[in-house]
Amino acid sequence: MAVKKKTTAMDKVKLARDAKRPHLMDFLGFIASDFEELHGDRLVNDDRGLIAGFATIGGTKCLVLGHHKGVTVEENVEANFGMAQPDGYRKAMRLAKLAEKFHLPIVTFVDTPGAYPGDTAEARGQAEAIAKSLEFFSLLKTPIVVVVTGEGGSGGALAIAVGDRILMMENAVYSVISPEGCAGILWRDGAKAPEAAEALKITAPDLLRLGAIDAIVPEPEGGAQKNHKAAALAVKKAVLAALKELAKIPVDQLVDARYAKFRAMGNFYK
Distance from CA of residue 216 to its chain's centroid?
13
pTM above 0.85, yes or no: yes
The CATH number given to 16-35+44-85+94-212+229-262 is 3.90.226.10
Q: Is the pLDDT of residue 196 over 70?
A: yes
What percent of the chain is predicted at pLDDT more than 70?
Answer: 97
For residue 21, which of 232, 246, 268 has the smallest C-alpha distance? 232
- Residues 27-60 pLDDT 10s: 999 999 889 989 988 888 888 889 999 999 999 9
Mean pLDDT of 104-129: 90
Residue-range domain boundaries for the chain? 16-35+44-85+94-212+229-262
Contacts of 25 (CB under 8 A, 6+ apart): 51, 68
Q: Is the pLDDT of residue 102 over 80?
A: yes
Q: Span 177-189, mean pLDDT?
A: 90
